[in-house]
Amino acid sequence: MAKEKVCILGSGNWGSAIARIAALNVKKHSDTFEEEITMYVHEEEVDGKPLSSIINEKHENIKYLSGVQLGSNVKAEPDPIKAIKGATALIIVIPHQFVEKILEGMKEHLSPGVRAVSLIKGVKAEGDKIHTYPGIISSLLGIRCSALGGANIATEVAQDQFCESTLGIPPEGMKSDDKNSLSDADLWFKLFDTPTFRIRIVPDVDGVALCGGLKNVIALAAGFSDGLGWGSNTKSAIIRIGIMEIKDFCVHFFPKVKAETFLEESCGLADILTSCISGRNRKVAENMVKTGKGFQELEKEELGGQSLQGPQTTEQLHKFLDARRDEVRRSNGFPLIENVWKICYEGMPPEKLIEGL
Amino acid sequence: MAKEKVCILGSGNWGSAIARIAALNVKKHSDTFEEEITMYVHEEEVDGKPLSSIINEKHENIKYLSGVQLGSNVKAEPDPIKAIKGATALIIVIPHQFVEKILEGMKEHLSPGVRAVSLIKGVKAEGDKIHTYPGIISSLLGIRCSALGGANIATEVAQDQFCESTLGIPPEGMKSDDKNSLSDADLWFKLFDTPTFRIRIVPDVDGVALCGGLKNVIALAAGFSDGLGWGSNTKSAIIRIGIMEIKDFCVHFFPKVKAETFLEESCGLADILTSCISGRNRKVAENMVKTGKGFQELEKEELGGQSLQGPQTTEQLHKFLDARRDEVRRSNGFPLIENVWKICYEGMPPEKLIEGL
């Protein structure tokens, strides 16, 4: 069996944390993987030097995950086409707004039999269609794409604190049809599972991608509740209603998605919980209520110009629901998603969050 | 149709909060209910006067829920047999350790057609048997008993903050077989549902009772995690594993119980969440780790001699699992429940909480 060659596309805080885990596991499973991992790094100058050179010298991403050794077998590469050369296993962890730009034109440079796993949060709505990133990657590159998600704050993962993660595999990747290669499930499990980073596998790639994509809508709602000084009963009710609504949305519009992924897995229940307790979408939403400022203004003040996922996702969902309004009218609708959108974009008073729930 | 007459057995903080809601609803549905509600009050002297007299004069339970008007149609009664006279709808909200003592000898004084709903938390293990309180009430009184549970902190409910509650009804009480009376589902829904105290009905009385009974084992685990300074990923993982383990325990030993009650309802997911974020079991567990003291000592120091439900429940579950050890060995076991027990009663270091999960 030829060895698998791993490439990580992306080098932010989560990309770096997962590079560290992959770098340990390729050494552990040296019969399965080539030892060297390449990591595509969007080049920038840090302290007057290119970030990729710093990573290759210090084995540390001093800008996005400082203080953490990535492993000397991680090689940073600023050219994405060079980075994927020879790779058979692509870990894609690029901010969602850059995915198409970076992957475009990559198809002809791919190795035969290459597979991908997406760690990207978010969904993309276009008119009356809605897409997950594993779906977008699959169709852009013409390859099979899995998804990884979970309650996985990068800095805690980098410190080997115990946590869980969910691996969503397309049904056809659960078992290998070729005796000479690993199934997708076996490949990604071997690459990611450690004693403190526990992987559970579900045959539901879209479900895993959607959980991470949609959770921040609930986190905004939880933040509004906190900002209003509402108590623990109310916040718990909002989280429960949010989980059920997101689950219903996904099961309705992606009929192959499994409800259990939302209700029972780390990428669902546990990640939503973390985001509603300590995520930054929650925090900004709380401050929207307390200060009366809009999220755009707070993004600038609190996130140094970085953008929040929650409002964007809410906007995507709203546009999609509008395009499918006739269909939505026939169901109970999605009042929590719609109320969060109205508070973010229409100036609805946050006190009305629970109206129609 | 004869009117229903409501009696509340119990007058603690939760009993008083629910009395207020019932008192509003019997007035609202005056065609269904008699206006006066009786409330059995365990008599004690407060400021030199009997508590029952104070409640009847001020319509306020100044000891357990001060500052909240119960409604002038709530009549306190210190004799439980007098309290149930003529009652057709019993709300039972007595601390679990007193249930059998108070209900004993009551059977012969019950009105025909009387029904009960249990708001009691906890389970009772006897050798290789385990019982829920609705089950115990049913067999002591020979009547049908439903259950109410949810993320319902009493003081927030008393302030009309938005929350949800789950009503578990025995399957035979979902519809009425007698055209002249309400089904259990209709009766309790009318008595409890308000615009801010939202009732959802499930045909799973044991499931609702078990969620409230077992949630505090998970809350202790969450508290140990907090005490150890473990991060948000780890705490979320422990809560997720806890919910699944409790659900598996109940589905295994109570085969009629529904997994959805644990995963989707306020009495499950939402109440567990609240307990793991802000409950007192969580708090004491955190302090056990930080101070090295046992829970008995901390109960004395922090709860004025009141006892915690979590360690007691853990002990009940452990005894039961020991009695059924052969059966448990054939499954994956219940490592979180067993580890919480070992930390509480065997001096196991809390760092070992995640062992074997």
For position A337, what pLDDT does the model report? Answer: 97
Active site residues of A: 215
B12 is in an annotated binding site: yes
Identity of the residue in A234, A243, A270 whose CB atom sits nearest the CB atom of B240 = A270
**Pair of tokens at residue A162:** 């115990």
Q: What is the pLDDT of residue A122?
A: 81
The pLDDT of residue B305: 64
Q: Which residues pair with A201 in a beta bridge?
A: A167
Residue A346 lies in a domain: yes
CB contact under 8 A, A239 and B270: yes
The answer to whether the CB of B260 falls within 8 A of the CB of B199 is no
CB-based contacts of B153, cutoff 8 Å, min separation 6: A231, A232, A233, B274
Helix (H) or strand (E) holding A132: strand A129-132
Q: Do B232 and A156 touch (CB under 8 A)?
A: yes
Q: Closest chain A residue to B261 measured between Cα atoms?
A: A263
Any domain includes B105: yes
Q: How confident is the model at residue B210 (pLDDT cuts 50, 70, 90)?
A: very high
For residue B67 the two structure tokens come to 């500052």
Q: Is A357 contained in some domain?
A: no
The reported pLDDT for the residue numbered A181 is 85
Residues of B designated as active site:
215
Query: Over the stretch B216-268, which tens digit does the pLDDT of each residue have?
Result: 999 999 999 999 999 999 999 999 999 999 999 999 999 999 999 999 999 99
pLDDT at A263: 97
Question: Residue B212 maps to which CATH number?
Answer: 1.10.1040.10
C-alpha distance from B100 to closest chain A C-alpha (Å)? 30
Band (B329; pLDDT cuts 50, 70, 90): confident
pTM here? 0.94
Are B311 and B198 found together in one domain?
no
Q: Is B37 helix (H, G, I), strand (E, B) or coil?
A: strand
Would you state the pLDDT for residue A305? 64
Claim to verify: residue B63 and residue B210 sit in the same structural domain: no
Tell me which chain B residues have a C-beta less than 8 angstroms from the C-beta of A266. 236-237, 240
Among candidate residues B169, B187, B203, the one where a domain is terminated:
B203
Residues in chain B with CB shorter than 8 Å from the CB of A233 are 150-153, 156-157, 161-163, 274
- Residues A89, A117, single domain; the answer is yes
Tell me if B357 is assigned to some domain. no
B325 among annotated binding-site residues: no
- Give CA–CA dist B336/B351, Å, rounded: 13
Q: How many domains does chain A have?
A: 2
pLDDT at B149 over 90: yes
B271–A236 C-beta distance less than 8 A: yes
Phi, psi of A66 (to 5 degrees): -70, 150
Closest CA–CA distance from residue A332 to any residue of chain B (Å): 16
Asked whether residue A198 is marked as a ligand-binding residue, the answer is: no
A154 is in an annotated binding site: yes
ipTM: 0.94
A91 domain-assigned: yes
State residue A57's pLDDT score: 97
Cα gap A4→B240, rounded to integer Å: 33
Q: Is the domain of B93 the same as that of B180?
A: yes
Last residue of a domain, one of B178, B203, B228: B203
Q: Which residues of B are less than 8 Å from A277 in CB distance?
A: 232, 277
- pLDDT value, residue A49: 97
Nearest CA in chain A to B354: A162
A180 lies in the same domain as A211: no
- Which of A172, A203, A234 finishes a domain? A203
Out of B234, B241, B266, name the one closest to residue A240 (CB). B266
Residue A304 and residue A236 share a domain: yes
Residues B160 and B265 in one domain: no
Q: Does B135 show up as a binding residue in the annotation?
A: no
Cα distances (Å, whole numbers) of residue B344 to B272, B322, B353:
19, 16, 11
Residue B35: is its pLDDT beyond 80? yes
Q: Is residue A301 part of a domain?
A: yes
Specify if A1 maps to a domain.
no
pLDDT of residue B45: 96
Does residue A184 belong to any structural domain of this protein?
yes
State whether B155 and B224 are in the same domain.
no
pLDDT at res. A270: 97
Q: Is B232–A274 a contact, with Cβ atoms under 8 angstroms apart? A: yes
Give the mean pLDDT of B344-349: 96
When CB atoms are compared, the residue of A163, A231, A234 closest to B233 is: A163
Q: What is the pLDDT along chain A (357 residues), one digit of tens a residue?
A: 789 999 999 999 999 999 999 999 999 999 999 999 999 999 999 999 999 999 999 999 999 999 999 999 999 999 999 999 999 999 999 998 899 999 998 999 999 999 999 999 888 988 899 999 999 999 999 999 999 999 999 999 999 999 999 999 999 999 987 777 899 999 999 999 999 999 999 999 999 999 998 999 999 999 999 999 999 999 999 999 999 999 999 999 999 999 999 999 999 999 999 999 988 999 999 999 999 999 999 999 988 767 788 999 999 999 999 999 988 887 788 999 999 999 999 999 999 999 999
Of A164, A236, A266, the CB nearest to B151: A236
Contact (CB<8Å) A237/B153: no
- HSE value, Cβ hemisphere, 13 Å, CA-based, for A168: 31
Q: Above 90 in pLDDT, residue B330? A: no
Residue pLDDT, tens place only, B50-106: 999 999 999 999 999 999 999 999 999 999 999 999 999 999 999 988 999 999 989
Phi, psi of B8, deg, nearest 5: -105, 120
Under an 8 A CB cutoff, do A277 and B278 touch? no
For residues B128 and B320, the answer to whether their CB atoms sit within 8 Å is yes
Please tell me whether residues A173 and A69 are part of one structural domain.
yes
Q: Do B161 and A244 touch (CB under 8 A)?
A: no
Residues of chain B contacting residue A230, judged by C-beta atoms under 8 Å apart: 161-162
Give ∠ CA A202-A205-A209 in degrees, rounded to 5: 115
What sign for the dihedral angle of Cα A148, A151, A155, A157?
Answer: negative
Residue A123 DSSP label: E
Q: Is A249 annotated as a binding residue?
A: no
| A184: CATH | 3.40.50.720
| B62 and B160, same domain (yes or no) | yes
Cα A340–A314–A281 angle (5° rounding)?
75
The range of the structural domain enclosing residue A227 comes to: 206-352
Residue partners of B28: CB distance under 8 A and separation at least 6? none
d(CA A141, nearest CA chain B) in Å: 32
B147 and B290 fall within a common domain: no
Determine whether the interchain pair B237/A162 forms a contact, defined as Cβ–Cβ distance below 8 Å: yes
B269/A234 Cβ within 8 A? no
Tokens 């209910």: give the residue: B33
Residue B35 DSSP code: S
Q: Establish whether A296 is an annotated binding residue.
A: no
Same domain, A155 and A53: yes
Nearest CB to A156 within list B198, B233, B240: B233
Give the mutation candidate from B161, B198, B232 for the A interface (greatest A CB count, under 10 A): B232
